[in-house]
A and B are shown apart, each in its own frame.
Chain A
Amino acid sequence: MAHEKLQLPLPFERIMERHEREIMGYLLRVSGDRDDAADLFQETWLRAYRAYPRLQPDSDVRPWLYAIAVNLCRNRARDGARRTRVIVADDEALPAAERIARDDGSLNENEGYAAVHMRELISGLPAKQREALHLRYFAGLNYGEIATAMDCSEQGARANVSQAVRKLKSMW
């Protein structure tokens, strides 16, 4: 009996080579902190390695990776919130604007302030809208990919992003 050629899924190393740069970029922008991003990066790839055999071979790797990253960011935000409620560290009690301004003097004043203010507004959004917004504008995923990454419908993804943008506009 004749068979089509053996088609194995890509080796995990190839997936990492292809996507590590953009995942790191995404995590940096979402967390706004190099150490956090490095931790999240490591955890994302370890989880991805464990889960890789269960990914259907014909499905898209990119939104799948972002789904892992998004979940990890959400967990970290939750655990972080739990910690700060108990002990409010000096550093974390400061508004983000001052913190970032203190950390990095090289930021362009005006642009930097706009970005910092926007980050604050975004962190006030509901989780789903915030995540959809991150995936749309930080990762540049299309709505179909966002839907896969967030396990919702494409319309849902679209609605989350547009509601997030509308809210930001009203608060700006």
Chain B
Amino acid sequence: MKIEKIVRSIGSEFLDEGVEELLHRSRDRVDNELKHIRRPEAAVGIVKSPLGDLLVAMSARGIVLNHYLLDASDLAGTIAKLRLALDPVEDPRTIKEVGEEVRRYLAGEPKALRQSIDLTLAASPFQQKVLRKLQEIPRGAVVSYQALGAAAGAPRGARPVGNALHNNPVPIYVPCHRVISSDGRIGGYGGGASRKLQLLRCEGFTLDDADVRLPDKVVWGHTGTRIFCRGNCRTTARVNRARIMFVANPEEARRAGMRPCKICRPA
């Protein structure tokens, strides 16, 4: 008999009906074990928004990924990263709402963004902390990288904060567009600076597409005292910059629960 034929025949006695039963039993064992290590599922899809196409993923806990699709190669890489933590399932219906919410938000509806936020994809505890703190910045206000770093427990951490925000898995919902340079320049944005301007504009800042700085008439709000001042108030000279947030106008500051300074009396 030829060698190959004998080799092929080895163990062929196993391949009878008994295999079905063994397979059935083993499959149950595997399913049981998989239960313990299974990654959570996420509904994934692409939604259209006024800010361009977004790759959105929703876990059971909320929106976990909201990614600006800038070019085609972006998509595969982002899904690869997502898959390390979650099992994606295509589900356009679940994520459709997100596109609708973003559209309404940009049209000026302040409470349009309703999804709860799941920070599973945050890469480090520090990033989680930064993103949590960032969620406290109200609409109509911006802070500096430095101030956000101080709030997250890293007073000299403007640059790590920048990195944490650049890799923000849920932009728009976690408002990383509300962070600017401490000298008043708007700074960059993961989705491109024009999107940052667009978002800030819909939140009450008067900005042109060509603007690179915040407008002069923003008011300075102190996160500790909850008092807001004009930028040229004499009290602002002494104040700790890490405690300042810039608010688009006095109305937004009042809405955020602040009171006007009694010295400079802003509006």
Contacts and interface: CB of A to CB of B under 8 A. Distances in A.
Contact of B6 (A49, A107, A118): A118
Interface in A67-119: 104, 107, 111-112, 114-115, 118-119
Interface string A25-57: 100111010100110011001100110111001
A3 B46 contact: yes
Interface residues of B, number: 45
A41 B30 contact: yes
Contact of A3 (B12, B30, B53): B53
Main SS of the interface on chain A?
helix
Interface centre among B14, B19, B22, B76 (most CB of A within 10 A): B14
Given A29-B14, A111-B9, A169 B3 contact: yes
Given A1-B53, A53-B84, A25 B26 contact: no
A49 B19 CA distance: 23
Contacts of B87: 11-12
Nearest to B6: A118
Contacts of A30: 11
Contact of A25 (B8, B15, B25): B15
A111 B9 CA distance: 9
Given A118-B7, A122-B7, A169-B3, A6 B45 contact: yes
Contacts, number: 115
Given A6-B44, A41-B26, A169-B3, A25 B14 contact: yes
A1 B90 contact: no
Interface size for chain A: under 10, 10 to 19, 20 to 34, or 35 or more residues? Answer: 35 or more
A8 B34 contact: no
B262 to A, nearest CB: 51
B79 interface: yes
A134 B110 CA distance: 65
A130 to B, nearest CB: 11
Interface centre among A41, A53, A111 (most CB of B within 10 A): A53
11 contacts: A8-B90, A12-B87, A28-B14, A29-B12, A38-B29, A49-B37, A49-B38, A114-B9, A115-B6, A118-B10, A172-B3
Interface of B: 1, 3-4, 6-15, 18-19, 22-23, 25-27, 29-30, 33-34, 37-39, 44-46, 52-53, 55, 69, 72, 75-76, 79-80, 83-84, 87-90
Interface of A: 1, 3-4, 6, 8-9, 11-12, 16, 20-21, 24-25, 28-30, 32, 34, 37-38, 41-42, 45-46, 49-50, 52-54, 57, 104, 107, 111-112, 114-115, 118-119, 122, 133, 137-138, 165, 168-169, 172
